[in-house]
Amino acid sequence: MDNPLSQNPGPRSRATHWKQTVLYLEDVLTICEGETIIGSMTVAPNKKNPRDVDIMVKYSLSGRRCVVSRVQFYKMR
């Protein structure tokens, strides 16, 4: 291929139609060496507006300094 195509989604690159976001957690998690956060993320088109995205984040930590279990919901427009 003489002219390979590439796309850089980095924050300092030219804008594309791809989106980036940061999902802030409601909790401050203090994690000690050897501990593990258990979690999952679901991303789906919004039922009313398929251009919006609904995001659900579940996480839990049962550590020496922090015990938390939470489900958070986000909407990306």
pLDDT tens, 35-76?
Answer: 999 999 999 999 999 889 999 999 999 999 999 999 999 998
User: Which residues are CB-contacts of 38 (< 8 A; sequence separation ≥ 6)?
Assistant: 59, 60, 61
In a domain, 65, yes or no: yes
Question: Structural domain tally of the chain?
Answer: 1
Q: What is the pLDDT of residue 12?
A: 82
In a domain, 61, yes or no: yes
pLDDT in tens, 4-26: 777 776 778 777 766 778 999 99
Phi then psi for 38, rounded to 5 degrees? -105, 135
How many Å separate Cα 45 from the centre of its chain? 15
What is the pLDDT confidence band of residue 1, given thresholds at 50, 70 and 90?
low
- Segments forming the whole domain that contains residue 72: 37-76
